Structure 1
Amino acid sequence: MSLVSAAVITGVGSYLPSRLVRNTDEPLSLLDTDDEWIRSRTGIRTRHWVEPGESTGDLAVQAGRRALRSAEITSVDLVVLSTTTPDHHSPGTAPWVAAQLGLGNVAAFDVSAACSGFTYALAAGDAWIKAGMAERVLVIGAEALSTITDPSDRGTAVVFADGAGAVVLQRGCAEEPGALLAVRLGSDGTQKDLAIVAAGGSRWPEERQQAARGERCLRMQGPQMFSHAVRRMTEVSRLVLESVGWQPDVVEAFIGHQANQRILDKVADLVGVPGPARLGNVRDVGNTSSASIPLVLDEVVREKSVGAGARTLLTAFGAGAVWGSVAMTWPDIRPPS
């Protein structure tokens, strides 16, 4: 019997900056809020922020290095970096990350798909492998959201955080643990104002000094974001499960984008994912946008709490609006040292 070709996760890695910020620490303690309010509405108690001078690229290098070490390889054919906070508007951050990792003149590019970025980056790596354009791909989600967050805005300052997670994809077969079995993506550009950094792009160039400080920071319509996230993550999860012929109750590992614990619980309930399958770390690391799913993946690999080959569902929603879901099996890899 012939085996179906697939992209297989063979390595994982993650990195969190050293600065730990609790709900009771400044600058959050100066807001019109408290620890109980933040926990009850978001589920978050701590998050990590970069130090001055520390960038998204720095975080990505650390996570990427650990993923390569986990996969026991030193070279790849492609680096895909998902981020909302690149080191520069131009050039992209991925080529610099590849250079810092010693990967030579490898193909490298950024993906900008907000909190759904990791699912989009996985889809890109999966497509390159299936098309025969790559044997190995390093996929990284990295964010320094604290650099675009207004510390006086309660709606975003208590939620967003920094970090990076990475996986190595390698050509294999669908029967192997860690295989990507199906990907579904979507978008609705009419909802671009749900979460937006209005100034700094070509529509509102920052150098004209027209923008107030708040327009250079991420603004979010919280209640609307909640309802759209629940709807789209539920829809796309059902679609990807249907495409692989899985009923929700057979899912053994579910990782949703770690935006808010209430969103995660609602989506899992609506999809019908069993309680023991629900994995997350939003309580300890906050909303790290496109880094959130690989951060959970790496953490659970380290814990060895999910068996190789377990039916796994990933799902995310982000600004754009964009959303995505992946059906895969849990990888059979050792925790990175």
Structure 2
Amino acid sequence: MNALGAKIAITGCGSSIPPQVITNDDLSRLVDTSDEWIQTRTGIGRRHLASPDTSLSDISAQAAQEAITMAGLTPRDIDLIILATSTPDDLFGSAAKVQHLLGASNAVAFDLTAACSGFVFALITAAQFIRTGVYQRVVVIGADILSRWMDWSDRNTCVLFGDGAGAVVCQATLREDCLLGFDMYSDGKQHHSLNLSYKGQQKTLKEKVNISQGSYHPITMNGREVYRFAVVKVPEVIERALVRAGISSEEIDWLILHQANQRIIHAVAQRLDIPSEKVIANLEECGNTSAASIPIALDEAVRDGRIKMGDIIASSGFGAGLTWGAVIFRWGI
């Protein structure tokens, strides 16, 4: 299928969650917090953490393989792999390593960084390659290991984040187009609200020639500002995506938001007048897994039978940058 304007089907999903678990009670032994404090403010009860010998490439490949299998394909059928992550194993990128681990020898692979919006941005990017006829079978992965970059003495951030990976397969199709509408935004004026910033130390190479060498600071966040941003911008971007899709919020079967905070999820659903029984959330078990949170929640809901073939899903990612976006899609057509 090479014609401009190819249609898109999302035909498979998968996820990989590390087996190590740290509970709210465990965290109360590390920092001044409690299960009640964390639950009432975030909705999080547990989070899964990657072990020292677990790489981002490993869990990304595992999630992708599950999605490829569900789609009825093999890794050699894949044309393109897009890895949405802010925590690659290699600063030059990890997508090519994932391609190798999968054995997807016919695929080109690249990383995309948009923090917690990454999966939504990557899914929209994949759709453009399919619609222009360049690629026909694309794996989109959202994965992060934020435990690597956490200050485990900062109770404002260490209680929030977990590790994991999720993936979907997008294919060109002659049938109904399942990507119904989308919208994306950035606002660099608010970049200071959520950071994993460079940490440099001056090094003199010779007289009057200095460079900076270093690593990164732990994650810092202004939770109040991120909350204010999310409860306003996320409903707006979903509403715009619905307009582009030509459907109303009443036609949505499921709402899957980035799993940042249960209060944000509740506020957005209320603003859109979407009942709680249509909202998918796994914060209690997984916490905030950044770019992985939406595809992990999607995979769980597909595999347990909640999401069925043809269901319409509204999804939004939002976070560091600040970035935010929404996509409206139909599952499995």
**1:124-135 to 2 correspondences below 5 Å:** 124-135=125-136
Q: Quick one: which amino acid aligns to residue 10 of structure 2? A: I
**1:251-270 to 2 correspondences below 5 Å:** 251-270=252-271
Whether contact under 8 Å (2:64, 2:166) holds in the other structure is yes
Shift in alpha-carbon separation, 1:89–1:9, aligned structure 2, 3 A: same
Corresponding residue of 1:47: 47
Among the aligned pairs, what percent are the same residue?
40
Q: 1:327 deviation in Å?
A: 0.7
Shift in alpha-carbon separation, 1:28–1:170, aligned structure 2, 3 A: farther
1:78 paired with 2:77, answer no
Whether contact under 8 Å (1:28, 1:157) holds in the other structure is no
Q: Deviations over 1:75-94 (max 9, x none)?
A: 2100000001011112x100
Corresponding residue of 2:37: 37
Q: How many residues align?
A: 321
Shift in alpha-carbon separation, 1:55–1:240, aligned structure 2, 3 A: same
Partners of 2:84 and 2:175 in 1: CA distance:
25
Shift in alpha-carbon separation, 1:173–1:321, aligned structure 2, 3 A: farther
In structure 2, the residue corresponding to 1:121 is in which secondary structure? helix
Q: TM-score, normalised by structure 1?
A: 0.91
Q: Quick one: which amino acid aligns to residue 61 of structure 2? A: V
Q: 1:24 deviation in Å?
A: 0.9
1:297 paired with 2:302, answer no
Q: 1:219 deviation in Å?
A: 0.4
Most deviating of 167-176 and 125-134: 167-176
Corresponding residue of 2:103: 102
Q: 1:201 deviation in Å?
A: 7.9
Whether contact under 8 Å (1:6, 1:181) holds in the other structure is no
Partners of 1:105 and 1:175 in 2: CA distance:
27
Whether contact under 8 Å (2:142, 2:292) holds in the other structure is yes
Q: Quick one: which amino acid aligns to residue 60 of structure 2? A: A
Partners of 1:272 and 1:201 in 2: CA distance:
47
Q: Quick one: which amino acid aligns to residue 208 of structure 1? A: Q
Partners of 1:170 and 1:202 in 2: CA distance:
46
Q: Deviations over 1:126-168 (max 9, x none)?
A: 0000011101000000110100111011111000110000000
Shift in alpha-carbon separation, 1:202–1:309, aligned structure 2, 3 A: farther
Corresponding residue of 1:208: 213
Whether contact under 8 Å (1:82, 1:110) holds in the other structure is yes
Shift in alpha-carbon separation, 1:251–1:201, aligned structure 2, 3 A: farther
Q: Deviations over 1:24-72 (max 9, x none)?
A: 11x4422111000000000000110000121211110110111111112
Corresponding residue of 1:140: 141
Whether contact under 8 Å (2:17, 2:48) holds in the other structure is yes
Structure 1 residues not aligned, in runs of 5+: 333-337
Q: Deviations over 1:1-25 (max 9, x none)?
A: xxx7322111110010010111111
In structure 1, the residue corresponding to 2:82 is in which secondary structure? strand
Corresponding residue of 1:67: 67
1:88 paired with 2:87, answer no
Aligned-pair RMSD on alpha carbons?
2.1
Partners of 2:182 and 2:175 in 1: CA distance:
13
Whether contact under 8 Å (2:6, 2:132) holds in the other structure is no
Q: Quick one: which amino acid aligns to residue 65 of structure 1? A: Q
Shift in alpha-carbon separation, 1:206–1:248, aligned structure 2, 3 A: farther
Corresponding residue of 2:189: 190
Q: TM-score, normalised by structure 2?
A: 0.92
Whether contact under 8 Å (1:115, 1:319) holds in the other structure is yes
Q: Deviations over 1:85-132 (max 9, x none)?
A: 011112x10011001100115211001000000001001110000011
Shift in alpha-carbon separation, 1:202–1:57, aligned structure 2, 3 A: farther
